[in-house]
Chains A and B, each alone.
Chain A
């Protein structure tokens, strides 16, 4: 059972010690990772994915329940503690959705019944239906993303979940985040999107490759977050209409 992970600070891009020496994330917490492009958000996520032991560029060290994870824990997918949804939007594997998912289920030691569940869940996140017989490589950006989200949620059902940007993908991002976060997991979300950033409990601010500070989401931010959700829902519904060739004449004013 994973109760917490500890990120021990390393060095930023200039080789200076990063301002935060230690960040602890406990079970059930959702952390955001924010910062300008190139500030090292994806690298931080990468360090956690590999459970880095001062062996990456940043020289960070990741502890699980205050202990160093074993080599086996770090590399064997069946024991893997971390599920990651990376920025990469496209699949390169030349096979059908069904074959791909059953292969992945086999790697993770999961049951083959997962395959149908993944496809079903993915279809709740995207407008364009995905079928098991589809070739992976011809899926659209939104379909790929939805399938990756569902795969991470069901097949890579790990206690630590890392999400590297789910915006701009033509999927329902709130639903996606809910599906991924699950109950009692440790979740980190890299984002530029205030809708997502304010949904988290705390956010790590990155600068120049280093962890600069941790900002807690204030109660007024939580209120703003729910307002932003409504705006986002509206944008999504308008987007669906435009997609379907409808003419938009008016929309309902949002009541806050």
Chain B
């Protein structure tokens, strides 16, 4: 099974871009299937239905959506196989910008919105720096100068990625994305690893503590002055 993992900031146009790319894949006789992972709500399933692509929606609720996506990979592949798909496309909600859901042999696609300002590429972390392809959306809403600066910043963070300027409304650039998907390789989960380790997050907050005072917190705590300690037994 070929696996394409799509991450990006909320509202950057991941689904819109994907819909066009999927349509293009289908026109060329491929059978893609999509898993959409979100947190609380999504109606994207109906959008994928409209282009006739089998889809599965996973809501992670109070779990980190990327963690949820990662340990469900095996089930997703099984589901895609049951649907006789030759591509599994996973779209994640990735929220804290510290995760990169890409595995080593999957095709890692990062969708990033050009209107979010030229400092955004420096802020979003591993899901951009470890991606194979950076899809830059909404470039038509800013000046050419800003678009060029944005591009330069993306390359500063990830000099080896391929940048695709895409428009989720017109579909511009999406055929190019579909071509990259076609060139991706088969993935076996047996020895597959993440490209980037998930962030450190083992503390009392993770298990439901809502009090804010420092004395209630245990686990690995990093202070604003840069020191880090382990509190607890």
Those of A92-114 within 8 Å (CB) of chain B:
92-95, 100, 103-104, 106-108
Whether B151 lies near A107 (C-beta < 8 A) is: yes
How many Cβ-Cβ contacts under 8 Å join chain A to chain B? 70
Whether B175 lies near A104 (C-beta < 8 A) is: no
B96 near A: Cβ within 8 Å? no
Whether A93 lies near B172 (C-beta < 8 A) is: no
Separation in Å of the A192 CB from the closest CB of chain B?
Answer: 19
Given contacts A104-B148, A107-B149, contact A56 B172 (CB under 8 A): yes
Residue from B119, B141, B149, B170 within 8 A of A104 (CB atoms): B149
Given contacts A95-B118, A148-B143, contact A57 B170 (CB under 8 A): yes
Whether A86 lies near B117 (C-beta < 8 A) is: no
Whether A57 lies near B145 (C-beta < 8 A) is: no
A95 vs B146: C-alpha distance when bound (angstroms):
11
Residue from A77, A86, A92 within 8 A of B148 (CB atoms): A77
Whether B149 lies near A92 (C-beta < 8 A) is: no
Whether A156 lies near B176 (C-beta < 8 A) is: no
Separation in Å of the B13 CB from the closest CB of chain A?
Answer: 16
| Residue of B140, B145, B151, B176 ringed by the most chain A CB atoms within 10 A | B145
A100 vs B145: C-alpha distance when bound (angstroms):
9
Whether B118 lies near A93 (C-beta < 8 A) is: yes
A75 vs B162: C-alpha distance when bound (angstroms):
10
A55 near B: Cβ within 8 Å? yes
A240 vs B26: C-alpha distance when bound (angstroms):
58
Residue from B141, B152, B176 within 8 A of A88 (CB atoms): B141
| Chain B residue contacts of A80, Cβ below 8 A | 148
Residue from B149, B165, B170 within 8 A of A93 (CB atoms): B149
Whether B163 lies near A75 (C-beta < 8 A) is: yes
A106 vs B148: C-alpha distance when bound (angstroms):
10
Residue from B117, B143, B152 within 8 A of A103 (CB atoms): B152
| Chain B residue contacts of A91, Cβ below 8 A | 142-143, 146
Given contacts A55-B176, A104-B149, A107-B151, contact A94 B117 (CB under 8 A): yes
17 new A-B contacts at CB < 8 Å, known A49-B144, A152-B144: A46-B172, A55-B175, A55-B176, A56-B170, A75-B165, A77-B151, A77-B152, A88-B142, A88-B143, A91-B143, A91-B146, A92-B117, A93-B117, A94-B117, A94-B119, A151-B143, A152-B145
Closest 8 CB pairs of A and B: A77-B148, A84-B144, A107-B148, A104-B145, A57-B170, A107-B152, A56-B172, A103-B149
7 residue pairs A–B, Cβ–Cβ below 8 Å: A50-B172, A56-B170, A85-B143, A86-B142, A86-B143, A91-B143, A92-B115
